[in-house]
A and B are shown apart, each in its own frame.
Chain A
Amino acid sequence: MAGSVVFRQEFAVKGGDFAKAGAVACRIKELLKDLGLDAATVRRAAIVAYEAEMNVIMYAWQGRVDLAVSPKEVHITVDDTGPGIADVELAMTEGYSTATPEMRELGFGAGMGLPNIKRNSDILHIDSRTGEGTRLKIVIRTNGHGRT
């Protein structure tokens, strides 16, 4: 992303704050629409941002979403302090979930979060330490610059 114009913004997410679920993803979606990115990219970013935001709300204590946008790429980096993911490979399996029955009752925890993020991004890096927290680095290439 070096060398091009970049728009950056940071959003805080609080663990357990279900009342605000989706608020950050919504802001990101509105921003990307204003930035003139194509509809498919905006939709993918909205899905990714929502899943990442929900992961923080459901499992972590405190988190931060960093958005960086250039005409060619959308970078979404999510840092949280929380329990971490013990087995990243297992967490990437569709249907695997550690959600509590309460979360499932609210309609969350179908075990599609990380797989859904992967499906909608061009690059996904997961860096997690048990008992400390998780960092997700996501790159979505805008249309004409990414997957077809």
Chain B
Amino acid sequence: MNTKNFHAIHITKDKCIGCVHCLAKCPTRAIRVKDGKAVIIDELCIDCGECLRVCPHEAVHSHTTSFAVLDAFTYKVAIPSTVLYGQFGTSVLPNEILSALRRIGFDEVYDLSSICELNCAATEEYLNEHPRPRPFITSTCPVVVRLIQRRYPALCGHILPIEPPREIAAKILRTILPKSLGVPPDKIGVIHITPCPAKMVSINSPATLAKSFLDGAISVRDIYPQILAALRKSEEDSLMRHLFPETLFSGIGMGWSLSGGETRGFKNHRAVAVSGIQDTMRVLDQVEAGLLQDIDLLECTVCPDGCVGGPLEVENRFLAKSRILELVAAAGEHAVVDQRDASRLYHKNFLSFDHPAPPAESHPLDHDPAKAIRMAKRREKIFAGLPKKDCGVCGAPDCRTLADDIVRGHARLDDCPFVTKEKR
């Protein structure tokens, strides 16, 4: 329990009242209530944000990049998630949103939809060249990668080793901008704008890169008011933007943030999209049991409906989704990426992982199976004596987890209020 991992999700002790909402929702059972406050177990947390969604006291917060951090850079570049295009209703076009970002202080702003299309082309090429294993799993959702490393270590080799669009875009910008601007690389800040707390984790401790190409991630929620103000101030400009768009959007990449969007442009492969943390775990269980080998690619995103359901967005996800679907329909099948360019970058390994995602260290009851077996027997005995009400009063999410905590030495039997009552 000594290795400290970077996490984006934290509990504000002053606001936490020690209720059981987050406890029950955590998919990896990483939360305990100790001394009346929720505590996150470092090595179990995958930064999915389920606790952040359910906390009624706003005691769960996420560490995303603050605006003050941007001042360290002389040249600031924003690459917003395509989720941002769905946040401002039906009359605001993506080009207006991008120029609003420029007005609030970014020197340059790049659309990600074309890079999403590039990723899609590279992924198909990779699948063509690698008939095994099946299914491959996409790496776009950093929570899925961490979930696999921790709970499905045998599936680490199934993660398709192409970096997600945000990292590819940042890598391209890092390659071209210092030369074209004449600015030292460390003075150029490349910032992702996202509804996802876990992007901070993939930036600070990347699973498949030596170092992330991004300098930070600002949440949609934090930057929303400024974009809105900038949009209001420039209504007369918007007519010009409509007539004279400066960015060409990719019809294939535009829907990337919706579940199924990553593989919508696939021509020759069978892809299946899964969203939501519970369904993702159910499907990964099946893959681990050797099933679904007739599928080429699994697109898993732990937020409901895909990134558009991220916990740090502003617009409700149904409206955002509807707006993005409109934009997808308007863009049609418009392709902006030349297949040959995509292929060249792919074969230069420019789009690849630095290294595969390593399995996380496992946490058996004991590393000696004989000792672990004795402990498991004790654990079953303890569990048999617990009330199985899964009330959470002991501080563990359910009776089975309490029994586990007891044999591991992290809890005591009399933490259970029912067991104590019977004793009296």
Contact = CB atoms under 8 A, between A and B. Distances in A.
Given A46-B290, A69-B373, 5 more contacts: A33-B362, A34-B365, A34-B372, A42-B154, A43-B154
A35 B373 contact: yes
B373 A116 contact: no
B27 interface: no
B290 A34 contact: no
B288 A43 contact: yes
Contact of A35 (B286, B289, B364): B364
B368 interface: yes
Given A5-B374, A22-B285, A31-B376, A116 B290 contact: yes
8 contacts: A7-B373, A22-B286, A22-B289, A35-B372, A36-B368, A43-B154, A43-B288, A50-B289
Contacts of B365: 34-36
A46 B374 CA distance: 22
A9 to B, nearest CB: 7
| Contact-residue size bin, chain A (C-beta under 8 Å from the other chain) | 20 to 34
Contacts of B366: 36
Contacts of A43: 154, 288
Interface in B283-322: 285-286, 288-291
Contact of B372 (A4, A26, A29, A36): A36
A26 B285 CA distance: 7
Interface residues of B, number: 24
Contacts of B372: 34-36
A31 B20 CA distance: 26
Contacts of B359: 39
Chain B CB count within 10 A is highest, among A6, A36, A43, A46, for A36
Contact of A7 (B153, B367, B368, B377): B377
Nearest to B281: A26
Interface string B349-391: 0000000000100101111111011101100100000000000
Contact of A4 (B288, B290, B368, B370): B370
A50 B374 contact: no
Contacts of A46: 288-290
A71 B290 contact: no
Interface string B51-79: 00000000000000000000000000000
Contacts of A7: 373, 376-377
Nearest to A41: B369
Contact of A25 (B289, B364, B369, B376): B289
A47 interface: yes
A81 interface: no
A22 B289 CA distance: 9
List the 6 closest A-B pairs by CB distance, nearest first: A36-B364, A50-B289, A71-B369, A47-B290, A36-B372, A7-B373
B177 to A, nearest CB: 43
A47 B374 CA distance: 25
A46 B153 CA distance: 13
Contact of A71 (B153, B154, B373, B380): B373
A136 interface: no
A9 B362 CA distance: 22
Interface string B331-344: 00000000000000
B364 A34 contact: yes
B1 to A, nearest CB: 16
